[in-house]
Structure 1
Amino acid sequence: MNTSDIWKDFHEALLTFIKKRVNNKYDAEDILQEVFRKIHSSVHLLTDEKKLRSWIYHIARNSITDHYRAAAKRKEAETSFDAGLDFPEPSDENSNFNQVVSSWLKCFIQGLEEKYREAIMLTEFENLTQRELADRLGISVSGAKSRVQRGREKVKELLLECCRIERDRLGNVIDAQPKTNDCSCTSCENSFFGNLRPF
């Protein structure tokens, strides 16, 4: 009993099974790959071949559950990110702070691991949709979404780790201060930084 034989016998039926429970065909294909990754790593532990079918479908059901749990967590994190951190547009007297924070974000993005940096740059600055990003990079849509989300999380972590940001009810930055003299944001080249003092 090996993974190749199991793939031949079950992959089409499994994909149909998954597609009935997951709306996005790309997500279904990703889940199928995850199911077979788990099968490959554990098939040697299955001693009774009569239980193979039920074992495989048990893995598939668990993988679908894991998919929805992960999607819910990503959505929650994305909502949190979008609500509290974006690229602010200049607005009247707040324009300097908005531009400062935007520059910090861009600087932090440059320091990301390449796959996350590329995903953020293409979606935030070249306005690619996540589906277009997936096509450009040759990855699944869920993989593209994951890269963008993880990249955003990393940028947010870096910013909030070293900077204190205050916003008004419209989202304009009304105060932006590095927390220490050696804060990462102070290494970003921006003419506004000279006017900012750590608190």
Structure 2
Amino acid sequence: MDFYEVYEQHYDRVRNFILASVKNRWVADDLVQETFLRVLQNLTKVRDETKLSSWIFRIAANLCQDYFRSPSRKVLCFEDNPAGELPGESSLEKEIEQYQTSLLVQDLIKLLPEPMRRVIFLCDIKEESHQEAAKILGISLENVKVRLHRARKQLKTILEEKRFSSLSAVPGKIL
């Protein structure tokens, strides 16, 4: 197994996963670097290549947990939208609407507890299967389903509390 090939195949997904968890590009870049350093150090120990992706995401999830447990972590973020980028070209109005919806969803997801945030990110945003999310997070399939249900329900409640009249602005899969 070639490290560079593994890196190319997994870098974007791992970075997006970590970025969604920590909400800070600088911290995310450090954690991505640490993730792939550990992958490089232990890649020869991997016996089952079919579980490689889950193993890499488990490393990333553990590093995110370590980051949140660390007493020295910084909670300040000076970026307006650390996780988002402007979408590709189409009509300007549509781009702006999609961008605003994306910001709204990101803001709402930030209000969720960390375990729910991770499940929503993996299942609804990255469109991983429930089984894959369970492997990545190191929890049972049933726990993924419960967390996902509760997270969606909590997002809906938050929307109603904030009196957002248009639920259609939020992608249906999340709600």
What is the TM-score of this pair, normalised by structure 2? Answer: 0.41
Q: Give 1 or 2 for the bigger CA radius of gyration.
A: 1
What is the TM-score of this pair, normalised by structure 1? Answer: 0.36
Determine which structure has greater relative contact order: mean sequence separation of CA pairs < 8 Å that are 6+ residues apart, divided by chain length: 2
Structure with more strand by fraction: 1
